């Protein structure tokens, strides 16, 4: 077992030990409480079916003072554990408990499969279609629709805040990967790992900034160093992962923005896609024949 729920093996072992200790303390507290209730030393309250039926025969042999001590000790163990966990929460994978709500609040409510359009590209298309527009006119000062410095996403700096929030809100449950058709058919893609790798890159960037006061180029990028092209092009954009996520995360948006960078910045699309886009540009159809022949199939 290399990892457990995204944790390295050595950390996972400690987590199992702590969780086991908490459960032992929980049953110790409840069982001691129930036995003391049966002896009339505590007022009857609550229902403890597991403790009363499984652990009570063991605790019934102990004296009253030991039961009082074990019940109080277990209670304080839980109380101190909660205080510790509240401080540890911000440094652990359980941070998603806090971030799940804002991530859901800012979730994309558009129809699945509707991708965002770049404002700069939309503006250029409108200029092309407007016979009265001057395509060579200088953009107005402060024009928000001016061309961005980069198309798509190469690193975490190019992702928006919601995408970065999604990376930290992931519960690592694996529902997205379990329904991903690419993953099911043996492809390298895992939507769960897309979010986890984005979070790993964010952690590394954060440590870089803490150490240097600002980000110093470390020669790494989210693209290629963390997420490979093979993973990105394996995605079928079916939105199964976004439908399956219990907190409405959208790993597909990260995949799509990184694909956009590959196509628009590096012209690194697969040959099949380049051929299709060339046909659309020249023939207004993904097939390699003249526009006048597009409906010939209906005559057959």
| Each residue's pLDDT tens digit, 74-90 | 999 988 888 888 888 87
Q: What is the pLDDT of residue 4?
A: 41
Q: How far apart are CA 240 and CA 86, in angstroms?
A: 34
Q: How far apart are CA 211 and CA 8, in angstroms?
A: 24
Question: What's the distance, Cα to Cα, between the start and end of the chain in Å?
Answer: 59
pLDDT-derived band at 11 (thresholds 50, 70, 90) equals low
Q: What is the pLDDT of residue 1?
A: 36
Give pTM, 2 decimals: 0.71
Mean pLDDT of the chain: 84
Cα distances (Å, whole numbers) of residue 159 to 2, 151, 152, 245: 30, 11, 8, 20
Asked if residue 207 has pLDDT above 80, the reply is yes
Strands (E) across the chain are located at 3-4, 7-8
Distance of CA 13 to the CA centre of its chain: 24
Distance of CA 81 to the CA centre of its chain: 27
Q: What is the pLDDT of residue 54?
A: 81
Nearest to 35 by CA among 52, 54, 53: 52
Q: Which residues contact 239 (CB under 8 A, 6 or more apart)?
A: 112, 113, 252
pLDDT-derived band at 148 (thresholds 50, 70, 90) equals low
pLDDT-derived band at 140 (thresholds 50, 70, 90) equals low
Phi, psi (degrees; rounded to nearest 5) at 247? -120, 25
Phi, psi (degrees; rounded to nearest 5) at 213? 85, -20
pLDDT-derived band at 56 (thresholds 50, 70, 90) equals confident
| Each residue's pLDDT tens digit, 230-278 | 999 999 999 999 999 999 999 999 999 999 999 988 888 888 888 888 8
Q: How far apart are CA 186 and CA 43, in angstroms?
A: 59
Asked if residue 51 has pLDDT above 90, the reply is no
Q: Which residues contact 201 (CB under 8 A, 6 or more apart)?
A: 155, 156, 220, 222, 225, 226
Q: What is the pLDDT of residue 142?
A: 56
Q: How far apart are CA 142 and CA 160, in angstroms?
A: 21
Q: What's the DSSP call for residue 60?
A: T
- Counting other chains too, the contacts that 137-145 makes at CB distance below 8 Å and 24 or more residues apart are 144/119, 145/119, 145/120
């Amino acid at each position: 077992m290399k990892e457990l729920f995204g944790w390295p093996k050595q950390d996972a072992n400690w987590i199992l030990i702590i969780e086991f200790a908490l459960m032992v303390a929980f049953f110790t507290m409840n069982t001691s409480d129930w036995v003391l209730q049966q002896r009339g030393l505590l007022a009857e309250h609550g229902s403890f079916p597991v403790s009363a039926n499984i652990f009570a025969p063991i605790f019934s042999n102990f004296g009253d003072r030991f039961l009082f001590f074990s019940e109080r000790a277990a209670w304080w163990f839980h109380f101190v554990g909660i205080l510790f966990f509240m401080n540890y929460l911000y440094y652990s994978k359980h941070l998603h408990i806090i971030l799940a709500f804002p991530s859901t609040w800012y979730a994309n409510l558009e129809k699945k499969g509707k991708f965002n359009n770049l404002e700069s590209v939309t503006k250029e298309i409108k200029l092309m279609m407007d016979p009265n527009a001057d395509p060579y006119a200088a953009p107005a000062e402060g024009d928000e629709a001016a061309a961005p410095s980069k198309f798509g996403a190469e690193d975490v700096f190019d992702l928006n805040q919601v995408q970065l929030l999604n990376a930290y809100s992931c519960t690592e449950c694996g529902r997205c990967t379990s329904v991903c058709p690419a993953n099911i058919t043996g492809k390298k893609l895992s939507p769960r790992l897309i979010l986890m790798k984005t979070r790993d890159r964010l952690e590394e960037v954060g440590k870089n900034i803490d150490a240097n006061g600002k980000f110093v180029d470390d020669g790494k990028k989210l693209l290629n160093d963390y997420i490979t092209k093979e993973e990105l092009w394996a995605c079928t954009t079916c939105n199964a992962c976004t439908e399956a996520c219990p907190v409405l995360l959208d790993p597909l948006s990260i995949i799509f923005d990184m694909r956009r960078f590959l196509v628009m910045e590096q012209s690194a699309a697969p040959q099949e896609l380049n051929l299709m886009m060339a046909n659309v540009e020249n023939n207004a159809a993904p097939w390699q024949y003249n526009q006048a022949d597009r409906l010939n199939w209906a005559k057959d």
